[in-house]
Amino acid sequence: MATDPHRLRNYVDGEFRDAADGRSTEVVDPATGEPYTTAPCSGPADVDAAMTAAEAAFPAWRDTTPGERQKVLLRIADAFEARAEELTATESRDTGKPLHITRAEEIPPAVDQIRFFAGAARMLEGRSAGEYARGLTSLVRREPVGVCAQVAPWNYPLMMAVWKFAPALAAGNTVVLKPSDTTPASTVLIAGIVGDVLAGLGHPRGVFNVLCGDRDTGRLMVEHPAPAMVSVTGSVRAGHEVAATASISLKRVHLELGGKAPVVVFEDADLDRAVEGIRAAGFFNAGQDCTAATRVLVHESVHDAFTSALAKAAAATRTGAPDDESAYYGPLNNADQLARVSGFIDRLPAHATVLTGGHRIGATGYFYAPTVVAGLKQDDEIVQDEVFGPVVTVQPFTDEAQAVAYANGVEYGLASSVWTRDHARAMRMSKALDFGCVWINTHIPVAAEMPHGGYKKSGYGKDLSAYGFEDYTRIKHVMTSLDA
């Protein structure tokens, strides 16, 4: 069974299967630090079987109409709603996230995003047919790219699975999706849901396949000759490796990587609103979000008051187990991530000051206190590198030019925000900030209709929106003689 709490399985060509060589890995509950199930550790035979299934299913799925694909996605969305509690419980167990947060903040957007791409399937846009050379008519076809190899991260395993498979299927592609080895359970559950919908509507189950496994499994997927496109959400290191490997066979690559979002607070901002917005966006999901509000830049005239208020708000933010209704966030996802976050604090320079937090909570699980660090310089490690934990840094700036220089002075370019009452300043900043998203007087909301993706070492390609949908298509020029 897909939902067997003691053993997860791959989903290949409509069947749940163990790894061909029997290898498996333990899946650890981050709230306890103890293993609670096992998942396959897929090898070459498993990857080949999944890719073969996706290749075999592609012609039939490619030839479906947009309306038929829409119907599939709408049924999947309905199934997500019907099984919302099961999805919530599975996701929370795997990630340690509070149940009440997952139920309210992740399941409804995931359903909405599937429904958006169901509609997008029927709204392809392009240049109209016309005569651009005498006696010849040209038109443009948009076609699916083929088999898509997709790798999802551990911070939002359910939602990132949706961001990947929904546009791919809507465009007519077939999918082999790998969840993180630390959070495979919700993706395995999704596989059963999608497979049942496909079969119920008479489509090949091989349209959607899920492989559990480790980094080597992902590498095998990228190396396999079947995929025409590779989509990965993960670290910059992973992006480098995927891009290099995919380049050998010239596969199309879609990368959503790390972030180090600047949050620029000017002296005229509503400081109470900014403190609460940054607290919420900085500590949501334990700061394990590449768009998290983790790097705050505050005008020097309000720096001390703002920093004190933010530290107080952070100290009042609770972390706890999934069933803790008062918890705003849960544990870090795994032992390695706990060690990474702790390492940043342990290595702080002497001029830095931890205003609150900066330590693990409890002896079991991977809980970390909400942390605010001040007294930092632009070239400090914790300012330049992604922490991916409940840690917010604060730096003062003197004027708008310095704010822009500090904000852009990192290798990432995913998301940013500006807090000001001055409309002209907000517009200048939105132009100057070198990030794929600029929020004004808010931070972290996304909309299915709007693109999500970054610049520089944050990767390339867009998720969500019509732009994300188009990333899963290819363009063909067709020209015909009018004399025929």
Question: What is the domain class of 262-448 according to CATH?
Answer: alpha beta
Structure tokens at 44: 């070459």
pLDDT at site 125: 83
SS3 percent helix, strand, coil of the chain, rounded to 5, is 40, 25, 35
Burial grade of 479 (CB within 10 A; 0-12, 13-18, 19 or more): exposed
Q: With pLDDT > 70 as the criterion, what percentage of the chain qualifies?
A: 99
Q: Boundaries of CATH 3.40.605.10 in the chain? A: 10-257+458-478
Q: What is the pLDDT of residue 3?
A: 47
Q: Which phi and psi angles does 374 have, rounded to 5°?
A: -120, 180
CATH superfamily assigned to domain 10-257+458-478: Aldehyde Dehydrogenase; Chain A, domain 1 (3.40.605.10)
Q: CB of 283 within 8 A of CB of 437?
A: no
> Tell me, what's the pLDDT at 6?
62
The residues assigned a catalytic role are 256, 290
The letter for the amino acid at 483 is D
CA 56 – CA 44 distance, rounded (Å) = 18
State residue 127's pLDDT score.
Answer: 83
Q: Report CA-CA distances (Å) from 96 to 99, 158, 279, 332, 444.
A: 9, 13, 20, 8, 21
Question: Can you say how many angstroms the Cα of residue 11 is from the centroid of all Cα atoms in its chain?
Answer: 22
For the chain, which residues score pLDDT lower than 70? 1-6, 484
| 124-147 pLDDT per residue, tens | 888 889 999 999 999 999 999 999
The pLDDT of residue 12: 98
> Residue 34: phi, psi to the nearest 5?
-110, 145
